[in-house]
């Protein structure tokens, strides 16, 4: 119950432009609609946006699972932001990770829940020649986590879709965010 209250209150959403209630699943976001605000001091063609997503990951399997993290002491799991329809459309919010090898993934026991807050920023890649950002900043996306069934760097992904969130809409706003 406490988790539900936290999740319901922490999103920056535009309720009239979401996808309705968050569907039940192993990985859920706190809302189905977000407004990505302009990062202060940025402007076209290198305009940046950001928004916050709170996730709730529940291990609904009968065995422990492991969430990848960038460094052995990183406080949050590695995540991705992808197009919800599975198309080749590139998300401007998909982070570029430069991580080290280690064997200190987050272990999530059966039935356990982990809540993370991600400050999502983008675009994360730019075409210097064309002077334009790569990827789309508005659309329907999903957040992904790398979930493995065994610990260790290079472990195979757990079967199923444990690490794929519900779909959510992102719209951009010209308001500045610090």
CA distance 58 to 165: 11
Supply 10's token pair. Answer: 């922490």
Distance between alpha carbon 20 and the CA centroid of its chain, in Å? 19
Amino acid 21: pLDDT: 85
Q: Which pLDDT tens digit goes with each residue over 98-139?
A: 999 999 999 999 999 999 999 999 999 999 899 889 999 999
Domain enclosing residue 110, as ranges = 2-177
The three-state secondary structure class of 6 is helix
Region label for 42, one of left (φ > 0), alpha (ψ between -120 and 50) or beta (otherwise): beta
The angle formed by the CA atoms of residues 73, 125 and 32, to the nearest 5 degrees, is 70
Residues of the chain with pLDDT under 50: 1-16, 178
pTM score of the predicted model: 0.85
Domain count, the chain: 1
């Amino acid at each position: 119950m406490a988790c539900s209250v936290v999740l319901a209150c922490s999103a920056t959403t535009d309720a009239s432009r979401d996808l309705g209630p968050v569907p039940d699943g192993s990985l859920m976001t706190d809302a189905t609609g977000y407004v990505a605000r302009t990062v202060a001091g940025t402007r076209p063609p290198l305009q940046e946006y950001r928004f916050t997503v709170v996730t709730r990951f529940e291990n609904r399997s009968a065995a422990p699972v492991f969430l990848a993290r960038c460094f052995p002491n990183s406080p949050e799991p590695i995540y991705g932001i992808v197009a919800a329809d599975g198309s080749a459309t590139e998300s401007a919010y998909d982070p570029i990770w430069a991580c080290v090898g280690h064997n200190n993934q987050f272990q999530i026991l059966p039935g356990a829940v982990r809540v993370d807050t991600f400050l999502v920023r983008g675009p994360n890649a730019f075409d210097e020649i064309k002077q334009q950002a790569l990827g789309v900043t508005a659309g329907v996306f999903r957040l992904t986590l790398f979930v493995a069934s065994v610990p260790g760097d290079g472990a195979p992904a757990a079967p199923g879709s444990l690490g794929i969130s519900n779909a959510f809409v992102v719209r951009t706003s010209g308001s500045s965010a610090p």
